[in-house]
């Protein structure tokens, strides 16, 4: 074979290899834009879209599903927000379990598993984060995306050097303008993130949501870890609900929402609507800055040698950390029991707002089983 033919053959092989790599990478890139499959519980009343509360969201990646469960008996209303930060799996997996298990006997339950849907179409590649979390359920293996803390930059660029919160004038780092939990109450003509915040605020107003619970994860070195942050109007409910959580063996703290720190659900939703606004944090190793290698296993088990070392040799962490980690069953269980405890407390203080939700696993059930058992 001549030297020229050899070079052509080598070039052809190289091009074919590059094409194969591009096709594989492209398939992964496109796969994260496909919506997670959620199999709602039989008692589902309807599925709405967030764009019903702001038509400008229709056709964008900011639009997302709202699962509505209406009981036969009238009562209060509850909105559960998961996926405000798409890289905090305990929040959105708790919301998904609610959507797939809830049997509402009294009142109305609204669940938004992917509050910042755009964030689920991105990934924090610089942190080597996994693309999916996998669960072996009775219906087979199911995958749920592990996204980004912020709105996909493709949907909202460029970041300004300084983010100015529209309603208050508060200034933050420029990247925070893609953080849904710094954007409330939002603006109908603002950025995509602000539009999502505005639509959720309008949902709460239009449907007169009595209580809103926003579900999150925090790094083990974050002071507000394993806590509930409550708007001042929601503090009586949160105080009573916290006692019920302690009775279930759940270590939990209560923080009052700072009145001078803006953009948060627990601040702005309480200020701009009549809802009782609560935000729950649980400990997630994938959120910390001193963690080891980020992986799907780390996200599911909460095991991390770096945090284990810190937890057993120092007092630098705000949660206990040892060789048991903080598995997703524990984290989701905290959220689900917390929501049910706060719902119970609201109904006791305001009987006309009572909500009865059955078939949701509690903390004690989840820590002794697998989350996959509660997925359809």
59 in the same domain as 8: no
215 in the same domain as 310: yes
Say if strands 73-81 and 103-112 run parallel, antiparallel, or are unpaired: parallel
Write the CATH number for 201. Answer: 3.40.630
Containing structural domain, residue 2 = 1-31
26 in the same domain as 52: no
Q: In the prediction, which pLDDT does 157 show?
A: 87
21 in the same domain as 117: no
Give the integer Cα–Cα distance in Å for 250 and 8.
Answer: 67
218 in the same domain as 179: yes
Q: Exposed/middle/buried for 169, CB within 10 Å: 0-12, 13-18, 19+? A: exposed
46 in the same domain as 11: no
Domain total of the chain: 2
Q: In the prediction, which pLDDT does 9 show?
A: 59
363 in the same domain as 263: yes
How would you write the pLDDT of the chain (376 residues) with one tens digit per residue?
666 666 665 665 665 564 445 444 444 445 555 678 999 999 999 999 999 999 999 999 999 999 999 999 999 999 999 999 999 999 999 999 999 999 999 999 999 999 999 999 999 877 889 999 999 998 899 999 999 999 999 999 899 999 999 999 999 999 899 999 999 999 999 999 999 999 999 999 999 999 999 999 999 999 999 999 999 999 999 999 999 999 999 999 999 999 999 999 999 999 999 999 999 999 999 999 999 989 999 999 999 999 999 999 999 999 999 999 999 999 999 999 999 999 999 999 999 999 999 999 999 999 999 999 999 9
243 in the same domain as 362: yes
Nearest Cα to Cα of residue 281 among 334, 210, 343: 334
89 in the same domain as 68: yes
78 in the same domain as 22: no
CB within 8 Å of 168: residues ≥ 6 apart: 262, 263
Give the integer Cα–Cα distance in Å for 334 and 353.
Answer: 23
237 in the same domain as 331: yes
217 in the same domain as 153: yes
């Amino acid at each position: 074979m001549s030297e020229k033919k050899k070079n052509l053959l080598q070039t052809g092989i190289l091009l074919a290899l590059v094409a194969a790599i591009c096709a594989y990478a492209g398939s992964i890139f496109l796969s994260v834009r496909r919506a997670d499959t959620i199999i709602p519980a039989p008692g589902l009343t309807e599925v709405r879209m967030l764009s019903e509360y702001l038509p400008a969201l229709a056709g964008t990646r900011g639009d997302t599903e709202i699962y509505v469960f209406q009981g036969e008996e009238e009562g209060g209303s509850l909105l559960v927000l998961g996926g405000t930060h798409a890289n905090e799996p305990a929040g959105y997996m708790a919301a998904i379990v609610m959507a797939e298990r809830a049997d509402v006997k009294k009142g109305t339950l609204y669940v938004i598993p992917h509050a910042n849907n755009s964030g689920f179409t991105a990934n924090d590649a610089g942190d080597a984060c996994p693309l999916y979390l996998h669960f072996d359920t009775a219906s087979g293996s199911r995958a749920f995306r592990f996204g980004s803390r912020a709105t996909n930059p493709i949907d909202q660029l460029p970041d300004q050097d300084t983010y100015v919160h529209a309603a208050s004038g508060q200034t933050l780092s420029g990247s925070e303008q893609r953080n849904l939990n710094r954007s409330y109450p939002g603006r109908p003509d603002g950025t995509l993130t602000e539009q999502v915040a505005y639509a959720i605020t309008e949902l709460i107003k239009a449907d007169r949501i009595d209580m809103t619970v926003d579900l999150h994860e925090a790094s083990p070195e974050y002071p507000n870890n394993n806590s509930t942050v409550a708007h001042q109007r929601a503090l009586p409910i949160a105080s009573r609900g916290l006692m019920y959580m302690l009775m279930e063996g759940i270590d939990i703290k209560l923080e009052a929402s700072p009145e001078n720190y803006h953009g948060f659900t627990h601040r702005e939703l309480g200020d701009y609507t009549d809802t009782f606004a609560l935000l729950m944090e649980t400990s997630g190793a994938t959120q910390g800055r001193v963690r080891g290698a980020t992986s799907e296993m780390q996200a599911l088990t909460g095991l991390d040698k770096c945090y284990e070392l810190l937890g057993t040799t120092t007092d630098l962490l705000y949660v206990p950390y040892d060789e048991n980690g903080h598995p997703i069953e524990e984290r989701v269980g905290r959220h689900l029991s917390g929501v049910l405890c706060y719902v119970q407390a609201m109904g006791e203080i305001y009987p006309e707002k009572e909500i009865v939700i059955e078939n949701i696993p509690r903390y004690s059930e989840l820590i002794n089983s697998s989350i996959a058992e509660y997925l359809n």
